[in-house]
Structure 1
Amino acid sequence: MTAPTARERILAAVPAQPSEAAMTDRTTWQRVDLGPVLDGTHSAPQPTIGRRDDGAGLFYPGRLHSIFAEPEAMKTWLALTVATAELALGNAVMYLDFEDEEGGIVSRLLALGAPAAAIAERFHYFRPDGPLGDAGRAALAPYLTSPTTFAVIDGVTEAMGLFGLKPKDDTDVAGFWRILPRWLAEQGPAVLLLDHVNKDRESRGRWATGSQHKLSGLNGCAFVLENITPLAPGQTGKSRVRVAKDRPGQVRKNALPGSNGALHWFADFIVESQLDGSALVSLPAPVQRDGPFRPTALMKRVSDALATAREPLSVRGVLDRVSGKQDAVRRALALLVDEGYVSVTPGARNAQLHESKRPFTDSTD
């Protein structure tokens, strides 16, 4: 008698009729009723958590979202701005912090105008230092019911490390998604994951550091924050908010297409640091401008390179310091000269030496 094949063993383990328990247990392996879609009563999910200045929403309840950003792009500030708005509406927020500590988070909430009483009562802060497990779920569960509408996981790469998982492994990323973020979303709140982007702007595309599954596993929105002006005490920080993914499609429709294949431009996030320690924030909608395309992001990088150089730079010196297509860098440099941001003086061997006259701050594209 020959041994059963793997397929035969699997089929033999399936009962001819489902048990009574199987008939009543909740499972995702149930037939989906398509009637609401067919009769026109089905409605698309709407982003109701977090608002742009004009009222357009950012995050979908019960779905997974992410913000990928370089350091100093203010991704935590943006998450806490949404948290402050939810607290003002009388809702609750869960914050799982794998990067910072409570002092830094609470000080920002206070700076944003969140009342101390609301923070104490409805801002549920956790700082785990190990895997989730049954005990962790039991600790989180009481704070995931209504009125909790927003849950943040700050530091995805660090969280995966605590779970013993590798951020660059698709299987590990998918496993982490099931263990924590998806479980949180199943309880009802919009879930936001804060993560880092690859440092190389030219090669990173839309992806966070590590696995591509960090993006494909999302069923809500993914945003990329591009830092324009770093936030500093007494100064204003500004980052561009771009849409890298929008599964339901209700966020991207309120964004402007990017230039030359860039991601859709959803908003600018502006934080104005005040002398009294408070912060004024705004999230204005993008503005469509007429006229020829100006590579403003590249112009700023060229301007920054000239501003930090110890001496005036030749065209070759600029090309060596600013990554990108050489023709595009040359065009950005020429526009800076034409618009009075950069001066040109003759150098040795007919070289043209470029020096910053004033910083370039116009970031629209």
Structure 2
Amino acid sequence: MWDGWEAGEPGGLVVPEPARLAVVPPPAGPAPTWRPRDLEDVLDGTYKPPVPTVGHREDGVGLFYAGRMHSIVGESEGGKTWFALMAVASELAAGNAVVFIDFEDDAPGVVGRLLALGADRQAIRDRFAYIRPEDPLNVGFNRQEIGQAMHDLRPTFVPVDGVTEGMAMHGMELKDNTDVAKFGRLLLRPIAEFGAAVATLDHVVKDKEGRGRYAIGGVHKLNGINGAMYILENRKPFGVGLTGKTTVRIAKDRPGQLRRHALPHSSGLHWFADFVLKSHDETFAEAALYKPVEDTGPFRPTSVMKKVADALTTAHEPLGVRGVQDRVGGGKEIVRTALARLVDEGYVTVTSGPRGAQLHSMAKPFTEEVEE
């Protein structure tokens, strides 16, 4: 864990350890990791694969694996912290403990959101620890402080918000794969070794078309995850008095127990849930994580339908099929399909033109949420 660091490391112990931190028993030495592993449970069929038990969807499917590292990524204000806090509230309601490490926000902001989600005040007092680091882990008694919190509470869930700021605090470069791995060994893996599900909150790259499964920074962020990685795609903005919605997709599921509860998507990711947060005011919000529902109706390419609707809206006169295709671009068949759906659903009207041409114009605005 955190006890094997060198005494000569910068920021090491230079004064006697406070008595308050002396109650942590010395950990038993771990078995050498280069020692061949005992495979008997795998060979005799008694091995049980890990299952997600921390947090849950509305149908009871868990979100995070105990003792493993996870990541929640999305654009700014896409609901990452709310998503994590929903799982925090769930764990507290189940009688478990949580340690929240925050490099971005402050205690009033985080606890205020927890209270808005309905978390019990006494449960927060008894089984929730909020840590807001202002200096590196290897300074002074910081390792002992967090070790003490982990020992006292034995949390099932540890969100780490603001990985970008946390790495910078430790003098590490976000885009350097080696530094990303070091940060994992420094902070995340020791927490997971306590048995807690660890979830980092991070930003996606700004290029929406080219980001694929990766967050800002090193590729190792994805490769180093041994739990699950969720990508949050905001559909409706969150805010006081608003009902926000974010699609939750699985980018990685190392144990392989979550994807079977998700639906495949054209992006190559899996649609795991829709996260909906209804804010009544600053003190009351309702959060829900709904399972995906497969659409068995006709194919509706909503993103292309939006492009067709925009083309017809900005045109100075009704357009024929070829005129729509020229303005929208892309595959002709999918443009025809999108146009047909708009006609069938009453968004577009068709009139006869010269030489039997079919002319299209908007009958009403297409304001439907676009699924990309």
From 42, 47, 53, the counterpart of 2:47: 42
Measured in 2, the distance between the counterparts of 1:25 and 1:276 equals 47
Q: Does 1:246 align with 2:247?
A: no
Q: Does 1:215 align with 2:222?
A: yes
Measured in 1, the distance between the counterparts of 2:196 and 2:284 equals 28
Measured in 1, the distance between the counterparts of 2:348 and 2:161 equals 40
TM-aligned CA deviation for residue 343 of structure 1 = 8.2
TM-aligned CA deviation for residue 312 of structure 1 = 4.8
Measured in 1, the distance between the counterparts of 2:204 and 2:336 equals 27
Q: Is the 8 A contact 1:313 1:353 kept in 2?
A: no
Q: Is the 8 A contact 2:73 2:232 kept in 1?
A: yes
Q: Which has the higher helix share?
A: 1
For the structure 1 residues 116 and 33, does the alpha-carbon distance in structure 2 shift closer, same or farther, using more than 3 Å as the test? same
Identity of aligned residues (%): 49
Match of 1:228 in 2: 235
Match of 1:359 in 2: 367
Q: Superposed, which structure 2 residues align to 1:338-349 within 5 Å?
A: 339-340=345-346
Match of 1:178 in 2: 185
Instruction: For 2:277, give the aligned amino acid.
Output: V
Moved more, 324-333 or 234-243: 324-333
Q: Does 1:295 align with 2:301?
A: yes
TM-score normalised to the size of structure 2? 0.79
Match of 1:255 in 2: 262
From 264, 268, 275, the counterpart of 1:269: 275
From 284, 288, 293, the counterpart of 1:282: 288
Q: Is the 8 A contact 1:67 1:222 kept in 2?
A: yes
Offset from partner CA, 1:107-128 (integer Å, 9 cap, x none): 1101100122221222111111
Match of 1:20 in 2: none
Q: Does 1:55 align with 2:56?
A: no
Match of 1:97 in 2: 102
Offset from partner CA, 1:138-197 (integer Å, 9 cap, x none): 110122135411001101111111111111111111111111111111111000000000
Q: Superposed, which structure 2 residues align to 1:161-200 within 5 Å?
A: 161-200=168-207
Instruction: For 1:213, give the aligned amino acid.
Output: H
Q: Superposed, which structure 2 residues align to 1:22-37 within 5 Å?
A: 26-37=31-42
Offset from partner CA, 1:182-238 (integer Å, 9 cap, x none): 111111100000000012221000000111111000000001011111112222111
Unaligned runs of 5+ in 1: 1-23, 346-350
Instruction: For 1:172, give the aligned amino acid.
Output: D
Q: Superposed, which structure 2 residues align to 1:3-152 within 5 Å?
A: 26-133=31-138, 135-145=141-151, 146-152=153-159
Measured in 1, the distance between the counterparts of 2:49 and 2:366 equals 48
User: How many residues are matched?
Assistant: 331
For the structure 1 residues 42 and 169, does the alpha-carbon distance in structure 2 shift closer, same or farther, using more than 3 Å as the test? same
| C-alpha RMSD of matched pairs (Å) | 3.4
For the structure 1 residues 147 and 301, does the alpha-carbon distance in structure 2 shift closer, same or farther, using more than 3 Å as the test? farther
Instruction: For 1:273, give the aligned amino acid.
Output: S
Unaligned runs of 5+ in 2: 1-28, 352-358
Q: Is the 8 A contact 1:302 1:333 kept in 2?
A: no
Instruction: For 1:193, give the aligned amino acid.
Output: T
- Secondary structure, counterpart of 2:295 in structure 1: coil
Measured in 1, the distance between the counterparts of 2:350 and 2:108 equals 48
Q: Does 1:313 align with 2:319?
A: no
For the structure 1 residues 237 and 119, does the alpha-carbon distance in structure 2 shift closer, same or farther, using more than 3 Å as the test? same
Measured in 1, the distance between the counterparts of 2:243 and 2:61 equals 23
Q: Is the 8 A contact 2:304 2:335 kept in 1?
A: no
From 201, 205, 216, the counterpart of 2:212: 205
Measured in 1, the distance between the counterparts of 2:66 and 2:53 equals 7
Measured in 1, the distance between the counterparts of 2:103 and 2:334 equals 38
- Secondary structure, counterpart of 1:274 in structure 2: strand
For the structure 1 residues 343 and 279, does the alpha-carbon distance in structure 2 shift closer, same or farther, using more than 3 Å as the test? farther
Measured in 2, the distance between the counterparts of 1:139 and 1:327 equals 62
For the structure 1 residues 76 and 355, does the alpha-carbon distance in structure 2 shift closer, same or farther, using more than 3 Å as the test? farther
Measured in 2, the distance between the counterparts of 1:343 and 1:69 equals 38
- Secondary structure, counterpart of 1:187 in structure 2: coil
Measured in 2, the distance between the counterparts of 1:189 and 1:352 equals 58
For the structure 1 residues 243 and 213, does the alpha-carbon distance in structure 2 shift closer, same or farther, using more than 3 Å as the test? same
Measured in 2, the distance between the counterparts of 1:88 and 1:153 equals 20
Measured in 2, the distance between the counterparts of 1:344 and 1:226 equals 35
For the structure 1 residues 223 and 328, does the alpha-carbon distance in structure 2 shift closer, same or farther, using more than 3 Å as the test? farther
Measured in 1, the distance between the counterparts of 2:92 and 2:169 equals 29
Instruction: For 1:294, give the aligned amino acid.
Output: R
Offset from partner CA, 1:251-278 (integer Å, 9 cap, x none): 11111111x3431111111111124731
Measured in 2, the distance between the counterparts of 1:202 and 1:333 equals 21
